[in-house]
Structure 1
Amino acid sequence: MLTHINEQGQANMVDVTDKRVSIREAVAQGCITMLPDTLSAVINNQHKKGDVIATARIAGIQGAKKCADLIPLCHPLALTKVDLSFDIDEPNNQIIVSSLCKLSGQTGVEMEALTAVSIALLTLFDMCKAMDPMMEISAVKVLHKIGGESGFWTRDVRG
C-alpha cells in the first residue's frame, strides 16, 4: 500500500495522529571536495567571505527547520536539537558535513538531517565557488536513525 497516495490516487500527507510519540533521531552525512588552496582558505579562516564553516552551520540548521517547506508532504516538525559538524579530510581535499536532528514526536527526522547536510554543503559551495567552481558535492546519506516502529537502523558497512 502506498502511504502518500489516497484511495483516489491523489497525493496525501500521511496521518501520524495515532502513532505513539517517541524520541526520534537521525544522523546524515555528505562531503564536498575542493582544491587544496580553497580548503586551506576555509580551514585557516582566510576566505574573503569570512567564516565559511560558521555560515554553513547556520544555513544547515535553518535548512533542517524549513524541511517541510521544501519537501512536499513532509510533516512540519518541532525539532528539539539540530547539530552540524564539519570534519576536514586534508589528504582528500574534503570537508565532511554531518548532521544530527532530534525530537520527541510521531514521525522521523531523516529528511531534516539530510536537508541540514545538503543546505550546509550548498552553502559551502556558494561561498567558495569563485575560488573553485569545480567543487563536487557527494555521498549524501543517512547514517542511522533511532525511534518509531522500526527502532534503531544503521547503514550497513558495505555502503
Structure 2
Amino acid sequence: MATYFKRGKTWSTKVRWYDDDGKRHSKSKSGFSTKVLAKQWAVDQESKLNKGVQIAKEISLVDYYNNWVNTYKKDKLSAITLDRYKYTGEALKDFFHDDKIKSITRVKYQEFINQYGSTHAPTTVKKVNSIIRACVKSAILDDYLYKD
C-alpha cells in the first residue's frame, strides 16, 4: 500500500508491504514535483512487488560486484581481462569488506582510489575505476542505487 504526502514544495511517497514471513517493510522516495509522478513511482514499485521482485535491496558492494561479473562479464571477457576483474574484486573486498552498496559515499570511494593509486600505476587505477563505474551504473539500473 502506498501513501503520498507533500513536504514543502515536493511530493513524497512510501510503499509498505509484508514479506512471506509476515515482516513489514517499506520503501520511500521524495522529491517529486507533482503528486502524479509520486503515484507513478509507487505504482511501479507495487508492480515489482506483485511480480516477486525485491525492492528493499540491501547488498554489499563486493557481493554485488561478484554477481555482476558472473552474470554480465564472465563469458564475454578474455582470460587476461577476467583476471583484471578478479583483482578489482579483491581490491574492493580488501578496502570495503562487507559495506553495503548504499552506504558508500563519494569520499569513501575516493579514499579507496587514493589508496589503490598509491601502490598502482595511473593507467591501472583508471582501468579499475572504469570497471567499478560500469558496475555502479548496473546497480543503478537494478535499483540498488538511485545515483552514482
Question: What's the TM-score, normalizing by structure 2?
Answer: 0.30
Bigger fraction of residues in helix? 2
Question: What's the TM-score, normalizing by structure 1?
Answer: 0.28
Q: Which has the larger radius of gyration?
A: 2
Q: Quick one: higher RCO (CA 8 Å, sep 6+), 1 or 2?
A: 1
